Amino acid sequence: MRKDLKPFVLSAMQGDRQAYGVIYEEYAADMYRFALSICKNTYDAQDAVQDTALSVFKSIGTLKNPEKFKSYLFTSLSNACKKRLTENVSAEELADTADDDSGIELSLSVREALGKLDGQSREILMLSVAGGFKSHEIGEILKMPAATVRTKRRRALEKMREELEL
């Protein structure tokens, strides 16, 4: 977590809505990019971010360590995305890619390469790239050893390179 956000997290833990708004603004773009990479469509990604923002605001008072806020936020977002995916039973909805009206500057080839990764590899890659998490933090979020995260991230990057070279 950025050091300048810690006072805002502490205030938000006490119920300060404006402090939470500052925190949300800091992470909103990264949250959306992460959710879009998992959910594969704009509407579900937006809903997952909104659901997460609301649930984290309601439960932030239970957070024991303000330093872990970012991990807590992205763990909640990951769970919200997974819930959305299980709610969408149609394979066509899962394969649908978002229109690029979101300002996300991922080329079509990068999106296609990301789409060819399995869900967990894509999640690890996006937590690393969009979320800026280190392997031990991703391991905490996904409940797996940091070494496994590093291996899966390396393999995902190799697969992305292969896909993009074609």
**For the segment 47-65, what is each residue's pLDDT rounded down to a tens digit?**
999 999 999 999 998 988 8
Write down the pLDDT at residue 51. 92
Write down the pLDDT at residue 76. 92
Alpha-carbon distance 10 to 23, whole Å?
Answer: 11
114 and 37 Cβ atoms separated by less than 8 Å: yes
pLDDT digits (tens, 9 = 90+) for 80-111: 988 887 666 433 433 444 444 444 445 677 77
**Residue 24 pLDDT class (50, 70, 90 cuts):** very high
Alpha-carbon distance 142 to 138, whole Å?
Answer: 6
> For residue 27, what is the enclosing H or E element?
helix 17-39
Write down the pLDDT at residue 87. 67
Task: Pick 160 or 46 by higher pLDDT.
Answer: 46
Task: Pick 157 or 96 by higher pLDDT.
Answer: 157
Of 37-41, 68-72, 101-105, 122-126, the poorest mean pLDDT is in 101-105
Q: Is the pLDDT of residue 39 over 70?
A: yes
Residue where the block lists tokens 């949250």: 31
Write down the pLDDT at residue 19. 92
Write down the pLDDT at residue 91. 39
CA 147 to chain centre: 20
Phi then psi for residue 24, to 5 deg, are -60, -45
Q: Which amino acid is at 111?
A: R
* Burial degree of 105 (CB within 10 A; 0-12, 13-18, 19+): exposed
111 and 99 Cβ atoms separated by less than 8 Å: no
